[in-house]
């Protein structure tokens, strides 16, 4: 994985040609193509980011599930690494809502973040639905585990639906007008609804 081969977003490098000095890469925006070696670190952002995976090791399903849930909860509880000026977790909703109320939304960043959060919550619902279907995790409380997963997935589906409406209101191509009073008011209500559902989902996982 790398960053900013086509534009500032993550990509997967799936092949290379040493003779022609080309990388074969693609991203989630359906951009696929050849990129010269020399382009690494010389995109729109003067930054070089490369992540490689060079091996694997066996892990029990229960350990995988526990670590996944712990990672999710660390994000919400702001226990993961962070950058100055950025806020993670549920508290980020308050900052976003305040920005709408004070008409201080930056349109491009808002549209981008809305699309990213929508995708993340949509995939969270899918992940938890699939997790609840696992039958061989070696737990005596399998039925309760399945019910909690499906309840949390349902909450994330609600969050994703709220963000789907926000994406329609502030599309990444065009950005919308987030500081118009009627748009800001609607966005605030949708974010408040998403926050309520997400708090319930976190409570189910905790």
Q: What range defines the domain where residue 145 resides?
A: 61-205
Residue ending a domain, choose from 56, 73, 98: 56
Do 67 and 161 lie in one domain? The reply is: yes
Residue 7, pLDDT score: 82
Do 136 and 173 lie in one domain? The reply is: yes
CA 152/CA 27 separation, integer angstroms: 29
* pLDDT exceeds 80 at position 80: no
CA 176/CA 174 separation, integer angstroms: 6
pLDDT digits (tens, 9 = 90+) for 124-178: 999 999 988 876 665 556 688 889 999 999 999 999 999 999 999 999 888 899 9
Do 42 and 114 lie in one domain? The reply is: no
Number of domains making up the chain: 2
Do 112 and 43 lie in one domain? The reply is: no
Average pLDDT, the chain: 90
Do 95 and 188 lie in one domain? The reply is: yes
Cα-atom radius of gyration of the chain, to the nearest Å? 20
Residue 154, pLDDT score: 96
pLDDT digits (tens, 9 = 90+) for 167-185: 999 998 888 999 999 999 9
Across the chain, where does the E strand assignment appear?
Answer: 2-3, 10-17, 22-27, 32-36
DSSP per position, 91-105: HHHHHHHHHHHTT--
Do 189 and 120 lie in one domain? The reply is: yes
Band of the pLDDT at 44, cuts 50, 70, 90?
A: confident
Residue ending a domain, choose from 56, 76, 97: 56
């Amino acid at each position: 994985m790398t960053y900013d081969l086509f534009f500032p977003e993550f990509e997967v490098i799936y092949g290379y040609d040493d003779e022609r000095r080309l990388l074969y890469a693609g991203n989630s925006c359906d951009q696929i193509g050849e990129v010269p070696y020399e382009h690494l670190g010389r995109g729109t952002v003067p930054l070089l980011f490369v992540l490689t995976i060079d091996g694997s090791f066996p892990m029990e399903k229960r350990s995988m599930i526990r670590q996944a849930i712990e990672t999710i909860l660390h994000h919400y509880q702001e226990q993961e690494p962070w950058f100055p000026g950025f806020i993670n977790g549920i508290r980020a909703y308050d900052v976003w809502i305040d920005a709408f109320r004070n008409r201080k939304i930056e349109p491009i960043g808002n549209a981008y973040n809305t699309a990213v959060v929508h995708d993340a919550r949509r995939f969270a619902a899918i992940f938890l639905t699939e997790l609840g279907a696992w039958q061989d995790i070696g737990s005596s409380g399998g039925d309760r585990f399945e019910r909690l997963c499906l309840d949390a997935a349902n909450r994330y589906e609600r969050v994703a639906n709220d963000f789907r409406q926000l994406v329609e209101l502030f599309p990444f191509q065009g950005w919308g007008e987030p500081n118009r009073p009627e748009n800001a008011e609607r966005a605030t209500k949708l974010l408040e609804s998403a926050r309520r559902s997400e708090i319930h989902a976190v409570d189910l996982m905790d």
